[in-house]
Amino acid sequence: MKKPQDTRDIRREYIAGQLSRKQLDTNPTRQFSHWMKDAVQANIKDPTCMTLATCGDDGMPSARIVLLKHHDESGFCWYTNYQSAKGNQIQQNPKASLLFYWHDLDRQVRISGTVEKVSAETSDHYFDTRPLDSRISAIVSQQSRPVDSRETLLTQIEHQNQATQDEKVSRPDYWGGYLLKPEEFEFWQGRQDRLHDRFCYSKDSDEWKIERLAP
């Protein structure tokens, strides 16, 4: 029998930076914006990638990568098929967590809160800005459901292209945006010897309380 791969000795030191209480903005959304700007300026590949973790009625957590499309004080937004696995889980349990990891900066941000759909007008506006091929794919794909082959998908896309040649490609009602309204943030900066800097923002009435966490 082939020996299982042993990864216990794969490690590195985190030496990209440090984080102190005085460096933090009092507002976690502004602090996130500062770090997102740093990630973009550092030319990190796909800086808006985030892990979205959800959990439905069965209690089994599920995680996948999605893309942050916009954020402000109201929350953090992404777009998807409402009938997908994550859409069904959010309908059953409208609580979720986001995780950003910027490897080159040794930084993570975790954001947890409640999820709601954005308005139809907001979803329409974003859908209309997408490339045509992406809009066609969103219409055709029954996301998360079994499909017998890639050829089947390509045939369906070709049929949809022919059907909408001279027409506006409108957003289907099963596709749109979600907004996570934060209740807790954690900012993590990797440090040497695993003594990482971690700070948690939690809501205290209408204010944000900031606490350092043990690594």
Q: Which residues are catalytic?
A: 194
Structure-derived torsion over alpha carbons of residues 77, 73, 111, 130, reported in degrees to the nearest 10: 20
- Number of other CB atoms surrounding residue 108 within 10 Å: 19
- Number of other CB atoms surrounding residue 80 within 10 Å: 22
Q: What is the DSSP code string of 65-94?
A: EEE--EEETTEEEEEEETTSHHHHHHHH--
Q: Which residues pair with 77 in a beta bridge?
A: 70, 179
